């Protein structure tokens, strides 16, 4: 693993803005990244390119490189599978059309969540949730915000564990791309597909994760997010081993969401994360 780098040589390739469920606007993220002295960032909002589009149209700074990015949710039986896409064309019409389909499915799912919460006797209207989203895409963290402001729960964690996560009474499923479809869509749009935070797949064993990686690679996966704000360094070393064994790329990012995940900070995660710029060079080499 590369040595600890000075922050001016560091990057953060996993950031959420108000275009999805982050609490920082794109301008605030760019300002914060500049103040911190990061060398490269990517805004990887869930199922939307709006954040990336805005970041790329922002006046560019010579000291801060911005890569286009997105995080797609994929349909997987265990845990949560997210596929990141980097350096894709933000104006690719087939990709944008696919995102529209996903966003429609999201809106329809959100209405079902409202109904479920109402059926539980919780006084919540969809308009309030839309307001909580600040005009971006509506996601479950915005439902959590409303549940907190209504005094139903004390924290987002409690909102998810009591109501919003899979298996809880306010959960509603939604259409998701198959993993191979997410990878294919990103590749077709000229991007590099990467498996995000592998631990959220909740693999039963090291071998189970390896099997998943082998299958994803056969479908065109190019990398694994090895660096994330996970204190379990042993796990990180295992991801690194998989990357080496299967000739994949390493990427890294904090999954910064601002207020929604207050213990995770831009660029540095829980404080000690340092992700070297060399990973961006590898990404670029992979695409060219």
Which residues would be at the binding site for Zn ion (CB under 5 A)? Answer: 71, 255
| 2 CB neighbour count, 10 Å cutoff | 13
Shortest reach from residue 152's CB to Zn ion, in Å: 25
| Identity of the residue, 120 or 181, whose beta carbon is nearer to Fe ion in the bound complex | 181
Residue from the set 51, 85, 136, 141 that interacts with ligand AMP by CB under 6 A: 141
How far apart are alpha carbons 26 and 32 in whole angstroms? 10
Q: What is the DSSP letter of 177?
A: B
Question: Which CB atom, from 174 or from 238, has the smaller least distance to ligand AMP?
Answer: 174
Contacting residue, 39, 82, 116, 265, with Fe ion by CB under 5 A? 82
Closest distance to ligand AMP from the beta carbon of 140 (Å):
4
Query: Is 142 one of the binding residues for Fe ion (CB under 5 A)?
Result: no
Q: Is 96 helix (H, G, I), strand (E, B) or coil?
A: helix
With CB under 6 A as the contact rule, the residue among 136, 139, 198, 229 that binds ligand AMP is 139
Q: What is the DSSP secondary-structure string of 181-228?
A: HHHHHHHHTT-EEEE--GGGG--SSHHHHHHHHHHHHHTT--EEEEE-
Residue number with the smallest Cβ distance to Fe ion: 82
Write out the residues near ligand AMP by the rule CB under 6 A: 21, 46, 139-141, 156-157, 160, 165, 257
Write out the residues near Fe ion by the rule CB under 5 A: 21, 82, 196
């Amino acid at each position: 693993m590369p040595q600890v780098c000075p922050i001016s040589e560091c990057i953060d390739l996993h950031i959420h803005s108000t275009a999805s469920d982050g609490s920082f606007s794109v301008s605030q993220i760019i300002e914060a990244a500049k103040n911190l002295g990061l060398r490269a960032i990517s805004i990887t909002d869930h199922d939307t390119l709006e954040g990336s589009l805005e970041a790329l149209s922002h006046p560019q700074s010579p000291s801060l490189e911005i890569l286009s990015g997105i995080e797609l949710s994929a349909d997987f039986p265990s845990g949560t599978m997210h596929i990141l896409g980097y350096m894709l064309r933000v104006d690719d019409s087939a990709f944008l059309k696919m995102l529209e389909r996903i966003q429609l499915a999201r809106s329809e799912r959100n209405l079902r969540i409202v109904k479920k919460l109402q059926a539980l006797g919780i006084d919540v209207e969809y308009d309030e949730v839309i307001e909580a989203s600040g005009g971006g895409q509506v996601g479950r963290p915005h439902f959590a915000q409303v549940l907190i402001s209504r005094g139903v729960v004390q924290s987002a964690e409690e909102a998810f564990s009591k109501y919003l996560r899979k298996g809880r009474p306010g959960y509603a499923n939604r259409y998701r791309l198959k993993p191979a479809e997410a990878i294919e869509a990103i590749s077709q749009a000229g991007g590099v597909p990467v498996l995000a935070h592998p631990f959220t797949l909740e693999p039963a064993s090291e071998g189970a994760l390896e099997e998943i990686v082998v299958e994803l690679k056969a479908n065109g996966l190019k990398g694994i997010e090895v660096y994330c704000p996970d204190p379990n360094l042993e796990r990180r070393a295992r991801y690194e081993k998989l990357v080496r064994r299967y000739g994949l790329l390493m990427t890294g990012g904090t999954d910064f969401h601002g207020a929604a995940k207050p213990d995770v900070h831009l660029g540095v995660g829980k404080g000690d994360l340092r992700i070297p710029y060399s990973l961006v060079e590898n990404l670029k080499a992979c695409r060219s």
